[in-house]
Amino acid sequence: MIRFPPEVVMNKTDEAVRRARERSGEHLALLKEIVTIPSVSTDPERKADVARAAVWMNDKLVEFGANETKIIATPGHPVVWAEFRASEPDAETILLYGHYDVQPVDPVELWDTDPFTPTERDGRLYARGASDMKAQVMACLLAVRTLVESNALGMTVRFLLEGEEEIGSPNLAGAIEANADLFRAAVCLNLDSGMVGPGIPSIRYALRGLAYFDLTIRGPSRDLHSGGFGGVVHNPAQALAELIAGMHNADGSVALPGFYDRVREIDAEEHARAAAVPVSAEDLLAQSGVPALWGEKAFTPVERIGARPTLEINGIWGGYTGAGAKTVIPAEAHAKISTRLVPDQRHSDVHAQLAAYLTENAPPTVTWELRQLAGGEAFICDPNSSYHKRFAAALTSVWNREPVFSRNGGSVPVAADLEQILGMPSVLSGFALPDDRVHSPNESQDIATWYQGIEAVIRFLAAESA
Amino acid sequence: MIRFPPEVVMNKTDEAVRRARERSGEHLALLKEIVTIPSVSTDPERKADVARAAVWMNDKLVEFGANETKIIATPGHPVVWAEFRASEPDAETILLYGHYDVQPVDPVELWDTDPFTPTERDGRLYARGASDMKAQVMACLLAVRTLVESNALGMTVRFLLEGEEEIGSPNLAGAIEANADLFRAAVCLNLDSGMVGPGIPSIRYALRGLAYFDLTIRGPSRDLHSGGFGGVVHNPAQALAELIAGMHNADGSVALPGFYDRVREIDAEEHARAAAVPVSAEDLLAQSGVPALWGEKAFTPVERIGARPTLEINGIWGGYTGAGAKTVIPAEAHAKISTRLVPDQRHSDVHAQLAAYLTENAPPTVTWELRQLAGGEAFICDPNSSYHKRFAAALTSVWNREPVFSRNGGSVPVAADLEQILGMPSVLSGFALPDDRVHSPNESQDIATWYQGIEAVIRFLAAESA
């Protein structure tokens, strides 16, 4: 009996990987094309661009061989849906999640190159959304396309591509509820969680939730001359600062009443898993550039990011902010305040807790107004499911190293939505790196890591027999 | 001997007043002309407009019969000087002070009409600078012009018109020192202090000093994703808020170390004078629109504004301030912070005190930078001088009521500069009203009050025998 050497009996999966490698230039060109669309979901003036990104995604899904696609309107930005049927009947169905919207670019003057003109430099592709998460979405599309062409798609693949992730997915739960049959699947693969470090494939089994607020403090009926009224009027910017200062305790914990009431404790297994994550205080200092770390002393930095809730001032403004001196007492001062939540907190509770804090602590010399702009629950799942193992195997075969399992400090509302509405678990991973500067100026995607990511998705979705 | 009735033996002063009344329309047209020039001294893009305002002033001084004028360049905006010699030799010399620069207009969207298109409404002239202090400057120019035409100018009048008052007069002391002989006079009449209420002529005998700062708090090297770093990075906006909150004590006093060390106590005479000022807490509530007053409980509102130092947040900004939600930890946060100072504080001491506060209280998790943008000392003088009495008599003859003597909470650096450099006292008064909204949107000047003001200046400057 003649035995061919292994490189010659290349199976269909390996063949698909080879095909993907051959086409890496074309793949990168497609990624460059989609990042040119400034799909900033929070900016009303970009509404048409967000819609254009949805149409682009739909066009590519059709072109790549989807059996069916739909653009589902919502009260906000649309959801793109598609289905690619598996080569074999009775195959499982998997949902591939992605978002095609991006964060705003400001402060735009800090970008070295235009945020929507993709630029290659030192093996990275610089553009807003390159890493978060257009490269991740494209890894899914390109893996499926390659498998379809190789006749090796091992699962029926459904896509859920949304355009509101960066504003907290306010309309996604409604769209899932209204189209439950379209989105049903055994599991969701969600590549919106990155790697803990270069060359360290990573799977996340938890995400923090989010509650985002806009707080306005009002004092005088107009900006006042600080000479004429300084001493008898409580400056709203000062009152805002005083209220913000009171939102944390001296030990770094959040001071809102009841904030920790429902927080799930970190058990021994979780402590051990966090301790195994290869991210040190030094890594975080280097990644952030701060002179010293901060936060709850009773927890490690990895635990503080993944398993503890936080409260952040995302923006603050009031009074004169131009060049030089202007001696006013501002009529108003504003802050954007968000909390990152962990199981089993509820974002609606946090709204009530923040309002209660303000009721208790705001002085009678000012008035306040609190609006919730976004909310999503935290997510946690069993990292030992068969899908987690299968994705871990795919990552291991590409990186030649077992993935790290960790919690993710970020928020991806869809994971909680899918679990609550459809009972669907999620495998969270991705190919973004900690220094990709997501949400910041000069966002970029490491291109070699992205090519590896496409291969990992191919191996995960390939037919077992392929 | 035939005696004519009083109205027929009108003296030269009354004749000048009559002439001014006849010309009120022309006077208002001139005021409208000067307020169209957007002489915003703090804005580098308005530099040419500020220069244009200086030239306009110089042209009018020449046209109104000045014996000599000069435009004196400084490292910043120019000083306009002029001299009108008295009708009689051996007359005293008086310096008339004014500033031709104005505050910025923002927030411009809160103006009902364009800030540089003068608009008459309900007896008021709306425009930036109308009240502060172009109407006051024009009252001086028009009074002098009228007296010159009536051959009744009782003093040699020198003008000092500067273009940097709204940025703290950084170059004025240098210009006075370099041209001491031009500016020397028995007293300075300075109309940059307004009236305590409608129909209440007012003389101020004290001004607060000013020290203005720009504070930057820096944390991470760039804006960070609040999910990826929230919990281990001290948010610079939060750190700024914490530092600002600590700048006041719970009793409303300023917490900078040593801030009150040199503050001159309010003696019994001063307490009595403050108690006589007809401004109540209700007046201040109505003028400011705040829900409740604030400040040092141990002092009356009038004392807090006039005789006590304050610290104000004039502006604050950092992070995302656009529409919607953006989940960043900002790299930097900023505040514009000013203090109003009383005798015998020194603005350079306050710079050191604020730096010492930051050194002591800024956490190691952030860095800070403090710049002083402006500084001027407080001013106080004897309200019983002969010049105060003479101006009080002029006010009394116009309003038929004796003026109130009070301290002014605002800052006019020139008064301290003239006293320190030339030993020159100042009579501080003016025809602005508390609801003129100086430094705010919809600034205006009450036109009837302004006409009365022109008459008061005429009576003050008229020859005793006229």
pLDDT of residue B119: 98
Residues A22 and A166 in one domain: yes
- Minimum CA–CA partner of A164 in chain B: B325
Q: With 60 as the cut, is the pLDDT of residue A346 above it?
A: yes
Q: Is residue B28 part of a domain?
A: yes
Question: Among residues A452, A432, A461, A455, which one has the least CA distance to residue A191?
Answer: A432
User: B267 falls in which pLDDT band (50, 70, 90)?
Assistant: very high
Residue B42 and residue A336: Cβ atoms within 8 Å? no
State the DSSP code for B262. T
CA B38, B40, B41, B44 dihedral sign is negative
Residues B80 and B122 in one domain: yes
Residues B145 and B189 in one domain: yes
pLDDT of residue B426: 96
Report which residue type is found at A263: V
Residue A305 and residue B229: Cβ atoms within 8 Å? yes
* Sequence-distant (≥ 6) Cβ neighbours of residue B340 within 8 angstroms: A226, A227, A230, A231, B208, B209, B210, B309, B310, B312, B409, B411
Query: How confident is the model over A207-240, as pLDDT tens digits?
Result: 999 999 999 999 999 999 999 999 999 999 999 9
Minimum-distance CB partner of A313 among B210, B237, B335: B237
Q: With 60 as the cut, is the pLDDT of residue B2 above it?
A: no
pLDDT of residue A253: 97
Query: How confident is the model over B278-298, as pLDDT tens digits?
Result: 999 999 999 999 999 999 999
Q: Could you give the 3-state DSSP secondary structure of residue B338?
A: strand
Residue B295 and residue A231: Cβ atoms within 8 Å? yes
Packed helices A47-63 and A135-149: angle between N→C axes, nearest 10 degrees: 20
Q: Cβ atoms within 10 A of the Cβ of A13, count? A: 23
Residues B417 and B313 in one domain: no
Residues A386 and A440 in one domain: yes
Provide, as residue numbers in chain B, all residues whose Cβ is less than 8 Å from the Cβ of A237: 244, 313-316, 335
pLDDT of residue A106: 87
pLDDT of residue B243: 98
CATH number of residue B446's parent domain: 3.40.630.10
Minimum-distance CB partner of B313 among A221, A238, A248: A238
State the DSSP code for A434. G
CB B42 within 8 Å of CB A322: yes
Minimum-distance CB partner of B248 among A233, A238, A248: A238
Q: Is residue B201 part of a domain?
A: yes
Residue B315 and residue A293: Cβ atoms within 8 Å? no
Q: With 80 as the cut, is the pLDDT of residue A87 above it?
A: no
Tell which wins on pLDDT, A42 or B466: A42
Residues B178 and B44 in one domain: yes
pLDDT of residue A60: 98
Provide, as residue numbers in chain B, all residues whose Cβ is less than 8 Å from the Cβ of A333: 313, 316
Q: With 80 as the cut, is the pLDDT of residue B5 above it?
A: no
Residues A362 and A434 in one domain: no
Residues B103 and B147 in one domain: yes
Report which residue type is found at B175: A
Phi, psi of B380 (to 5 degrees): -150, 145
Q: With 70 as the cut, is the pLDDT of residue A283 above it?
A: yes
What is the average pLDDT across A262-282?
94
pLDDT of residue A107: 85
CA B105, B108, B112, B114 dihedral sign is positive
Alpha-carbon span A137 to A281, nearest angstrom:
31
For residue A436, what are its two tokens? 């990709």
Query: How confident is the model over B414-449, as pLDDT tens digits?
Result: 999 999 999 999 999 999 998 999 988 999 999 999
Angle at B273 between CA B414 and CA B409, to 5 degrees: 35
Of B349, B376, B403, the position where a domain reaches its end is B376
What is the average pLDDT across A332-345?
97
Provide, as residue numbers in chain A, all residues whose Cβ is less than 8 Å from the Cβ of B230: 305, 310, 312, 340, 409
Cα maximum dimension of chain B: 101
Q: With 70 as the cut, is the pLDDT of residue A2 above it?
A: no
Query: How confident is the model over A423-463, as pLDDT tens digits?
Result: 999 999 999 998 999 988 999 999 999 999 999 999 999 98
* Number of structural domains found in chain B: 2
Instruction: Work out the mean pLDDT of chain A and round it to a whole number.
Output: 95
CATH number of residue B251's parent domain: 3.30.70.360
CB A93 within 8 Å of CB A387: no
Q: With 60 as the cut, is the pLDDT of residue B95 above it?
A: yes
Residues B70 and B185 in one domain: yes
Angle at A52 between CA A67 and CA A179, to 5 degrees: 45
Q: How many CB pairs under 8 A join A and B?
A: 374
Provide, as residue numbers in chain B, all residues whose Cβ is less than 8 Å from the Cβ of A338: 226, 325, 327
What is the average pLDDT across B383-402?
96
Please give the torsion angle defined by the CA atoms of residues A219, A224, A226 and A227, in that order, rounded to the nearest 10 degrees.
-130
Question: Among residues B87, B122, B194, which one has the least CA distance to residue B433?
Answer: B194
pLDDT of residue A464: 75
Minimum-distance CB partner of A316 among B301, B310, B319: B319
pLDDT of residue A466: 60
Query: How confident is the model over B10-63, as pLDDT tens digits?
Result: 789 999 999 999 999 999 999 999 999 999 999 999 999 999 999 999 999 999
Q: With 90 as the cut, is the pLDDT of residue A411 above it?
A: no
Residue B326 and residue A104: Cβ atoms within 8 Å? yes
Residue B231 and residue A301: Cβ atoms within 8 Å? yes
What is the average pLDDT across B176-198?
96
Minimum-distance CB partner of B328 among A284, A308, A314: A314
- Minimum CA–CA partner of B106 in chain A: A320
* Sequence-distant (≥ 6) Cβ neighbours of residue A110 within 8 angstroms: A441, A442, B222
User: B411 falls in which pLDDT band (50, 70, 90)?
Assistant: confident
CB A170 within 8 Å of CB A164: yes
Distance from CA of A163 to the nearest CA of B (A): 14
Q: Give whole-number Cα distances, A71 to A35, A46, A67, A79, B195, in Å.
A: 20, 18, 14, 6, 66
pLDDT of residue B229: 95
Residues A397 and A367 in one domain: no
Residue with tokens 């969701």: A188
Distance from CA of A44 to the nearest CA of B (A): 8
Of B376, B393, B413, the position where a domain reaches its end is B376
Q: Is residue A232 part of a domain?
A: yes
Q: Is residue B413 part of a domain?
A: yes
What is the average pLDDT across A312-318?
98
Residues A315 and A417 in one domain: no
Residue A233 and residue B293: Cβ atoms within 8 Å? yes
Residue B327 and residue A212: Cβ atoms within 8 Å? yes
Q: Is residue A61 part of a domain?
A: yes
Q: Is residue B276 part of a domain?
A: no
Query: How confident is the model over B140-165, as pLDDT tens digits?
Result: 999 999 999 999 999 999 999 999 99
Q: Is residue B22 part of a domain?
A: yes
Distance from CA of B172 to the nearest CA of A (A): 16
Residue B223 and residue A441: Cβ atoms within 8 Å? yes
pLDDT of residue A465: 63
CB A428 within 8 Å of CB A403: no
What is the average pLDDT across A69-98?
95
Q: Is residue A122 part of a domain?
A: yes
Of B324, B358, B376, the position where a domain reaches its end is B376
User: B7 falls in which pLDDT band (50, 70, 90)?
Assistant: low
Q: With 80 as the cut, is the pLDDT of residue B329 above it?
A: yes
What is the average pLDDT across A340-361?
97
- Minimum CA–CA partner of A223 in chain B: B440
pLDDT of residue B3: 55
Has the ipTM of the complex gone over 0.90? Answer: no
Residue B440 and residue A366: Cβ atoms within 8 Å? no
Q: With 80 as the cut, is the pLDDT of residue A252 above it?
A: yes
Q: With 80 as the cut, is the pLDDT of residue A279 above it?
A: yes
Distance from CA of A424 to the nearest CA of B (A): 23
What is the average pLDDT across A41-63?
97
**Candidate from A23-32, B102-111, B329-338 with smallest mean pLDDT:** B102-111
Residues B346 and B235 in one domain: yes
> Could you list the residue range(s) of the whole structural domain that residue A344 is in?
211-263+308-319+326-376
Provide, as residue numbers in chain A, all residues whose Cβ is less than 8 Å from the Cβ of B210: 227, 327
Alpha-carbon span B463 to B144, nearest angstrom:
12
